[in-house]
Amino acid sequence: MIPVIVGSVYGVICLLCVVRYRSQKARSSPTPGREWPPVTILKPVHGLEKDLDKNLRSACLQDYPTYQVVFAVQDEKDPAIPLLKNLELEFGPQRVSVAIEHRQVGTNGKINNLIGGLMHARHEILVISDSDVYLRPDYLKAIVAPLADPDVGFVCTYFMATAAESWFEKMELLTMNAGFFPDTVFAHVTGTAKFCIGSSVALRRSTLNEIGGLEGLADYLAEDYEMGRRIWETSKKMAVAPYVVETVVDLRTPSQWWNHQLYWDQNSCMVRPGALFSTIFIRPVPFALLFAAARLGDPVGLSVLAGTLALRLVTTAVILGWGLRDREGLRSLMLLPFRDLVAVVSLLLAFTKRTTVWRDKEFVLTRDGRMVAREKNLCESSSSPVTTSVSPSR
């Protein structure tokens, strides 16, 4: 019963934190008449994704005085290149640059791609935004504004999943919108944990150079967290803009969804294993089900299960509907109990899974979060290796 009570209380607290976030969002607005520094948006691209044209085009339509968008690809045969060239032609070379640079500094493909893109960046302020992220016209002002404080080392935003079509894409959407979003809002509002969300982050080039550049992140699986950790350890502050970007869910098979679900937990396991394991005790639905089963479905057990389910669904519905304005999530809400049960399985597997596959290559992950090619001598690493599954979208 203790995990049921603790998990239910945690759900209510997350809802209150989202209320706080919404109040901050309502009060936030860019200062009129302020000067905005020039910005370069770095967009790493790999292949044709769902809604790619819409997402990339949104970066070119920002309500911002001076900025550059760099679309970075690694392979001159990448099928997305014709789309990128068309955007460059449409918006002009002052707005859009296409960087086709093959860089193999480390094992993290996204960082290799960004290193190539950074060679074409013209401005001091950098915004890193994944290719599957849609940006509303006010995005740049929202994420750049906190950098007016010289003590702020980086700024990130929250994100929500959209465009889920199949049942497994809807499960992925719930993982992000009903799980990751309230958890990160809770962590920020309460100050219980620091984070850096790499799908939408802004920082100064000088700050990046101070922590060893992108090259220093090229072997990390959770490169965004490692970048954030290095920055806040220089005594600079992290800032979270009260803003949510949209990321498109693009999964083709149930197995791809399951691998991505494992990826989320395994990534967290590498960053904070103890904190991740403790989250198993704030998952009320699985424990309420166990409680009802242990009591052989008697009235008390079923009442606890029904009450737990009702509270979980109601608090999540408010978070989705009012906190995120997420109509897709509301329509998928009945999948939430199943998603909660699956999440316990993936969390437990995150501590035991021993395979790593990235684009048909195997890697191991050291205890400090670095990826090492499997064929390399693992004794060269300073830490003991474990393995994890890599997101197909990275």
The pair of three-digit structure tokens given for residue 269, joined into one six-digit string: 């396991």
Measured in whole angstroms, how far is the alpha carbon of residue 210 from the centre of its chain? 24
Q: Are 52 and 24 in contact (CB under 8 A)?
A: no
Give the whole-angstrom CA distance, residue 138 versus residue 205.
22
SS3 string, 88-134, reads HHHHCCCCEEEEECCCCCCCCHHHHHHHHHHCCCCCCEEEEECCCEE
Give the residue extent of every domain in the chain. 2-16+269-350, 32-252, 357-386
Torsion region of 346: left, alpha or beta (phi above 0 gives left; psi -120 to 50 gives alpha): alpha
Q: Are 272 and 351 in contact (CB under 8 A)?
A: no
312-370, pLDDT tens digit by residue? 999 999 999 999 999 999 999 999 999 999 988 888 887 776 655 555 566 676 767 77
Q: What pLDDT is stored for residue 15 in this prediction?
A: 95
> DSSP labels for 269-286?
HHH-HHHHHHGGGG-HHH
Kindly state the DSSP code that residue 250 receives in the 8-state scheme: -
The pair of three-digit structure tokens given for residue 287, joined into one six-digit string: 């424990």
Q: What pLDDT is stored for residue 274 in this prediction?
A: 67
Q: Are 60 and 70 in contact (CB under 8 A)?
A: no
Give the whole-angstrom CA distance, residue 308 versus residue 305.
5
- For domain 32-252, give the CATH number: 3.90.550.10
CA atoms within 13 A on the CB side of 196: 25
Q: Are 63 and 36 in contact (CB under 8 A)?
A: no
- Provide the β-strand partners of residue 93: none
pLDDT along the chain (394 residues), means of 10: 90 94 75 84 94 96 97 94 96 95 88 95 97 96 95 96 96 95 93 91 96 92 90 95 94 88 76 70 90 92 95 96 94 95 86 60 70 56 40 40
> DSSP labels for 139-206?
HHHHHHGGGGSTTEEEEEEEEEEE---SHHHHHHHHIIIIIIHHHHHHHHHHTS-----TTEEEEEHH
Pairing of strands 39-44, 67-73: parallel
Q: Which of 72, 80, 84, 78 is nearest to 114 (CA)?
A: 72
Measured in degrees and rounded to the nearest 5, phi and psi for residue 385 equal -90, 145
Q: What pLDDT is stored for residue 25 in this prediction?
A: 76
Q: Are 142 and 126 in contact (CB under 8 A)?
A: no
State the chain's maximal CA–CA distance in angstroms.
69
Q: Are 203 and 152 in contact (CB under 8 A)?
A: no
Q: What pLDDT is stored for residue 23 in this prediction?
A: 84
Q: For the chain, what's the residue count?
A: 394
Burial 371-386 (b: 16+ CB within 10 A, else e): bbeeeeeeeebeeebb
List CB contacts of 322: < 8 A, sequence separation 6 or more.
18, 22
Torsion region of 361: left, alpha or beta (phi above 0 gives left; psi -120 to 50 gives alpha): beta
CA-atom Rg of the chain in angstroms: 21
Q: What pLDDT is stored for residue 387 in this prediction?
A: 37
